[in-house]
């Protein structure tokens, strides 16, 4: 049975682009006699607000996009708010560490910022140089004694990733261009890329339908699915909804919000 999800971040109001993504997921679920899951991605503690969650739910109901599982309805894979699912992310992170598929990184924000600046200056795409991949035990012990809290990075294997996108066809990625990426922050919170995959695994999502701005995240997601021992779902990356002037619609564009159209009648 098809299982799709719409996973907004409550950092602003629902806008037309979000609503379009929700609609396509809802239509796919209904056409395939599947389930439409609503998941709230609120791990950005500083920007996520409960009033935005309430408004997102109201806007989806106003649009007639009722969800089968999610906030206010529950379901077999509850809870459906990421901030209430932290134990699952830790369990998966521990699994990757135990299998040597992830490792602690002690690089400071300043060091990483400096490396990014050097890459930009050289006309190169910034990429983590994997310097913490094989730290000596004494170096790790030294960081611990100094109270340095590490992030956790995914150990990216050298391979070509082939995604058979429902809309775009075959898309290929070379992992040599990615670099080891963060899956858990030093605060203990998961990164976006890690949390969404963990949830998609546990909620048995079969198809991921989203905007093309997420295409660059897809190789990372595929790697995490495989590392955790789960089947990679089907992907469909849609074109973005643009404003009349050609700019991308965003939460910061007030006229693009569903609230604007509700109030306008």
pLDDT of 174 above 80: yes
pLDDT of 245 above 90: no
Rounded Cα gap, residues 131 and 127, in angstroms? 11
pLDDT, residue 200, reads 99
Beta carbons within 8 Å of 128's beta carbon, 6+ residues apart: 112, 115, 153, 179, 180, 181
Alpha-carbon radius of gyration of the chain: 20
Q: Does the bond joining 172 to the residue before it have cis omega, within 30 degrees of 0? A: no
Q: pLDDT-based confidence at 250, cuts 50/70/90?
A: low
pLDDT, residue 264, reads 82
pLDDT of 178 above 90: yes
pLDDT digits (tens, 9 = 90+) for 128-153: 999 999 999 999 999 999 999 999 99
Q: Which fold has domain 3-264?
A: Rossmann fold (3.40.50)
Asked if 38 and 69 count as a contact pair (C-beta separation under 8 A), the reply is: yes
Quote the tokens at residue 181: 């990426």
pLDDT digits (tens, 9 = 90+) for 2-49: 999 999 999 999 999 999 999 999 999 999 999 999 999 999 989 999
What SS3 state is found at 17? helix
Q: pLDDT-based confidence at 255, cuts 50/70/90?
A: low
Q: What burial letters (b/e) apply to 67-93, b meaning 16+ CB within 10 Å?
A: bbbbbeeebebeebbbbebeebbeebb
pLDDT of 254 above 60: no
pLDDT of 253 above 70: no
Of 193, 241, 199, 244, the closest CA to residue 217 belongs to 193
Rounded Cα gap, residues 133 and 154, in angstroms? 10
DSSP string, 208-236: EEEEGGGGGGHHHHHHHHHHHT-PPPEEE
Neighbours of 248 (CB within 10 A): 13
Give me the mean pLDDT over the 232-251 stretch: 83
Total-model pTM: 0.93
Neighbours of 108 (CB within 10 A): 10
Residue linked to tokens 């035990």: 137
Where in the chain are the domains? Answer: 3-264
* Residue length of the chain: 265
Active site (annotated) includes residue 149: no
């Amino acid at each position: 049975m098809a299982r799709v999800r719409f996973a907004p971040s409550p950092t602003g109001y629902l806008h037309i682009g979000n609503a379009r993504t929700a609609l396509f997921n809802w239509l796919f679920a209904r056409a395939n006699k599947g389930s439409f899951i609503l998941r709230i991605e609120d791990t950005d503690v500083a920007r996520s607000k409960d009033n935005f969650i309430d408004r997102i739910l109201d806007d989806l109901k106003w649009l007639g996009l009722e969800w089968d599982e999610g906030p206010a309805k529950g379901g077999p894979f509850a809870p459906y708010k990421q901030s209430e699912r932290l134990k699952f992310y830790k369990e998966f992170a521990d699994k990757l560490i135990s299998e040597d598929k992830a490792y602690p990184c002690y690089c400071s924000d300043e060091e990483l910022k400096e490396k990014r600046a050097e890459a930009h200056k050289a006309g190169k795409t910034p990429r983590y140089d994997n310097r913490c991949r094989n730290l000596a035990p004494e170096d790790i012990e030294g960081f611990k004694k100094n109270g340095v809290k590490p992030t956790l990075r995914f150990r990216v294997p050298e391979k070509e990733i082939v995604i058979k996108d429902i809309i775009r066809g075959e898309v290929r990625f070379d992992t040599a261009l990615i670099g080891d990426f963060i899956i858990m922050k030093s605060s203990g919170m998961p990164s976006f890329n890690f949390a969404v995959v963990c949830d998609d695994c546990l909620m048995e999502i079969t198809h991921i339908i989203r905007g093309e701005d997420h295409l660059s995240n897809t190789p990372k997601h595929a790697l995490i699915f495989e590392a955790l021992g789960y089947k990679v779902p089907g992907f469909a990356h849609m074109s973005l909804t643009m404003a009349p002037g050609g700019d991308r619609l965003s939460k910061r564009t007030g006229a693009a919000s569903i609230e604007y159209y509700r109030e306008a009648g």
